[in-house]
Structure 1
Amino acid sequence: MTKSTINEAVLSQLLDLVRNGQLQRCREMGLEPEVLGQIQHPTVLSLLRNTPVTWVNVSINSSMIQKLLSNAARTEEEARVIERAIRLGATTKLLKNFFGLSPQEIALQRAVIGVKAPHGRWPAVSEDQEHQIWYRWTNLMKQNQVSLEDSLAMLDIAMLVAEELIADGLTLAQIWSFITHWIENRIYPENNNRDRQARRLEQGEHTQ
C-alpha cells in the first residue's frame, strides 16, 4: 500500500503551525497535547508520513459548496449589471446606492471597460423625451409586474428604457432621475387622484 497524500498534506500544515507557535490551532484541528510534544521527532514524523493508514478524516460540506457557487453566480451577474449600468450612463451616486461601490472602485470599473465619467450638467430633456420615458417605463412596469419595493427589478426596467432611448442622447442617470421624481411625488403608480403632471404625461403618450 502507498502512503496517504492527505496524511502528508495535513502533517506539513501541522509542522508549520508548531514551528510558528500556533499550538492552539493544532488543538483545534484535533491534535492531542501529548502528541504535540512528539510530532517533530524524526521517528514519529516518519511513521505519520509513511503509514498507508489514513489518520485524517475529510468531509465535504455540500451545503457550503452550494452557497459558495450561488454567491459566485450572483457576483458574476452583479458584475454584468454594473457594467451594463455604467455603459448606459449611471452616475457614481447611483452605482454606490445600488451596489455599495466606492468612487475609486467605480472609476476603476469605468477605466476597465473604457467608459469616461460624466462631467458637467446633463443635457436638457425635452418634453417629448420625457413623454417617451414615461410611456416606455410605465408600460414595462405593467408588463413585467414590477413592484416599487423591488429596487433591482426597477433598475433593470430603467436600463431597458435607457437602452431603447440611448440613441436620443438619454442616459440611465437622467431616466432614473425622472423615475424617482414620479414615485416621490406620487405621480406613479397611477390612481384616481392623479395630478395635472400625470395627465400631461399621459397626453404625451397618446401623441407617440
Structure 2
Amino acid sequence: MIPSLNYAVLIDALQALKEGNIRHCEALGFTYNEMEAINTLSMDELFILSRASAQFLQVTIQHEVLRQLLALARQEMQQQQRINRAIALGGSIELLSQFFGLSSAEISARRRFIGISVSQGRTRIPDEETDAAIWLQWEHLRPANILSMEALDIMMDITETLSGKSKDPPPLPDGNLEPYHAL
C-alpha cells in the first residue's frame, strides 16, 4: 500500500474522531476498538503507522458511482463552456439570467475573468440585411421549445455564423444548405 494513502486515511479518521464523527470512521471500515486506538496515538506513533509498508487498507472502486460522477462532471463542463460561449458572443444579462440563473454580478465577474468588456449604452442593432439573415436561419433551425438549451445553442450558432466566427453555417434539419446561398 502507498504510505501516503495510509497517512491520508489515518489523518482523515483522526480528524473525524476529534469532531465526533464516528459514522465517518465506521464508513471507512474502522471498528470501535480501532477508533479508540487511533484516537490515542501520539504523533510519533501516527507517523510510524502511516509509513508502514504493511497493507491495512483495501481500496475498492464503486463503478456505478464513479460512472455517474464522470457523467455529472462532463455535464457541468459542458454547461460552463456553454455559459462562457454565450458571454463571449455578447449574451445579455437577461438572457444569461434566464437560461443559467446567473445574477448580474456573476455575469460581470465571468466577463472580467474571460476578458470580455461590454460597452456602455444601447446594444448595437443589426442592419436589415443581417436581421433578415438571422430570421431566415432561425426559421429553418427553430426548435419546438424556444426556451430550451437547444434553442440557445441554435442562437449562438447563428450569431457565430453571421459574425464570421464560424466557418460553416449551422446545419439545417433536412441537411439542405440551399437557403444559405441566398444570404
Q: How many residues matched?
A: 162
Q: Structure 2 CA distance, aligned partners of 1:67 and 1:105?
A: 28
Aligned counterpart, 1:13: 12
Closer, same or farther: CA 57–122 of 1 in aligned 2, 3 Å = same
The equivalent residue for 1:119 is: 120
Structure 2 alignment gaps of length 5 or more: 165-181
Query: Aligned letter for 2:64?
Result: S
- Which residue matches 1:155? 152
Question: Is 2:162 the counterpart of 1:139?
Answer: no
What is the aligned partner in structure 1 of residue 111 from structure 2? Answer: 110
Give the TM-score normalised by structure 1: 0.60
Percent of pairs with identical residues: 30
The 2-side partners of 1:134 and 1:4 are apart by 61
Separation (CA, whole Å) in 2 of partners of 1:79 and 1:10: 33
Q: Give the alignment of 1:42-121 within 5 angstroms.
A: 50=52, 52=54, 54-121=55-122
CA–CA distance in structure 1, aligned partners of residues 25 and 74 of structure 2: 34
Name the counterpart of 1:165: 162
Between the two structures, name the one with larger relative contact order (CA 8 Å, sep ≥ 6): 1
Q: Which letter maps to 1:70?
A: A
Which residue does 2:169 correspond to in 1? none
| Structure 1 unmatched ranges of 5 or more | 168-206
Q: Distance in 2 between matches of 1:128 and 1:63?
A: 53
- The CA RMSD over aligned residues, in Å, is 3.5
Q: CA deviation at 1:152?
A: 1.2
Q: Deviations over 1:146-189 (max 9, x none)?
A: 3326711111111222223337xxxxxxxxxxxxxxxxxxxxxx
TM-score (norm: length of structure 2): 0.67
Alignment deviations for residues 56-104 of structure 1 (CA, whole Å, 9 cap, x no partner): 3321112222222222222332222222222222101111111122222
Distance 1:62 1:24, change over 3 A: closer
- Identify if the C-alpha distance between structure 1 residues 74 and 46 changes in structure 2 by more than 3 Å, giving closer, same or farther: closer
> Does the C-alpha gap of structure 1 residues 118 and 71 become closer, same or farther in structure 2, counting only changes over 3 Å?
farther
